[in-house]
Amino acid sequence: MDYRPIPEADERAFFDIGQYAFSPEDHPTDDSFEERKPYDRKNRGLYDGDDLLAIGGWHDFTLSVRGEWVRVGGVSSVATPPEHRRKGYVQQMLADMLAEFRDESIDYSALWPFEYEFYRKYGWGTCSKRTKWEFAPEALADAFPEASGTFRKLSTDDLPALRDLHEQFAAGWNLAMRRSDTWWEHRIFDPTWADTYVYGWERDGDLRAAVVYTVEKAGDYERTLKAWDVAYRDDAAFTQLLRFFYHHLSQMKQIELHTAVDTSLFDRVTDPRALDCEVLTGPMFRLTAVETGLSGLPYPEDATGSIVLDVSDPIAPWNDGRFAFTVENGQAACTQSAAEADVSVDIATLSQLTVGYLTADQARRYGGLTTDSDAALAVLSDAFPRAQTYLREHF
């Protein structure tokens, strides 16, 4: 079998396999193929001669991890046609893709799973949650202050201000994306799958809040405003977004708002029972290279110590083994080791520790990490503190 880029001659076959895997109710057409050609995804195929056995693609992302902007391979569109399933081709596709990431010096990977258990067995771990709010606009009647500033519809001409707002807003958590101009244009302003609206709130000419949303119609007079992306400078700017939602009182039956995990909206309204709140799991994350992935990140200045990790990785043999991990003065070194291990950990759990989704104590309690050494657990706890994680972009 041969893992290689999809040539132009096989682009339609790639599309057809993906369409059948993820939207079999929508038969692929020439028009749908032209509309949904990828603009920033590197398409790959697993071949036996000229026979395309499995497909996959990846995006070259820049995400924040522990205060650094790092390259992350965003895996998507992994599928096999029915005639080639249950033969291990997806596992081989993922293993080959991780090897490509390693060759490209991409130390991390993320994906949105169709099934968490499926990708967990290949080393990806859940890395983020999000909050989904649903409420009628009138529920916000007393949740915002007096009107100030102005709202206006935004365009790609506003990209410099939008980018600055977005990156400041996202600076407080791990896995925020540094969106490219192409991403802004094709995923925010003009995606192929929906008609989006992008509005901003300004005060004294300064863009201080923005919201991206779609409108879904359920009946003649029943519409839902789905706000799937928000950014704001401060709490005052957030409350102005609530005012914007309230201004749709006569037009929308419901507002659907997606945010990082946060339940404080309950405390802003008179009747919290008028709000429905659901916490949902998000994407998954994994280290593609333990040595360079752990060595290349910053660490808390007070974290210090040395331990040996016994890491298990089902599809990346260069990660499957023992590693000496030393941390001091805000930096770490991670190298292969033959010494006796202090800690045993699977790659998915180690990846969750890396981004701060789990603490070391949680990882031990949940079963992904084992150790009899309280000192070793303390080293991990200091080196990998809990952090807010939120990867909100779908791909």
Domain assignments of the chain as residue spans, ordered by start: 2-106, 130-281, 284-383
pLDDT tens digits, residue range 76-134? Answer: 999 999 999 999 999 999 999 999 999 999 999 999 999 999 999 999 999 999 999 99
Residue 212 CB-density burial (10 A; 0-12 exposed, 13-18 middle, 19+ buried)? buried
Please check whether the two domains, 130-281 and 284-383, share a CATH topology.
no
Query: Which parts of 227-315 fold into alpha helices (H)?
Result: 235-246, 290-295
pLDDT digits (tens, 9 = 90+) for 156-187: 999 999 999 999 998 889 999 999 999 999 99
Confidence band (pLDDT; 50, 70, 90) for 30? confident
Quote the pLDDT of residue 34.
Answer: 79
pLDDT of residue 192: 85
pLDDT of residue 36: 74
Residue 4 in tokens: 């290689």
Cα angle 183-194-6, degrees, rounded to a multiple of 5: 55
Do 41 and 76 meet the contact criterion of CB atoms below 8 Å apart?
A: yes
Nearest-angstrom CA–CA distance, 106 and 109: 8
Q: 308: which 2 tokens? A: 């040996």
What is the dotted CATH code of the domain comprising 130-281? Answer: 3.40.630.30
Neighbours of 394 (CB within 10 A): 13
Q: Which class is 2-106 in CATH?
A: alpha beta
Specify the pTM.
0.94
Number of residues written out for the chain: 395
Per-residue pLDDT at 39 exceeds 80: no
The partner residues of 325 in beta bridges, in order of sequence, read 307, 334
CATH number corresponding to 284-383: 3.30.1050.10
Cα–Cα distance, 345 to 110 (Å, whole number): 19
Look at residue 376 in the predicted model and tell me its pLDDT: 98
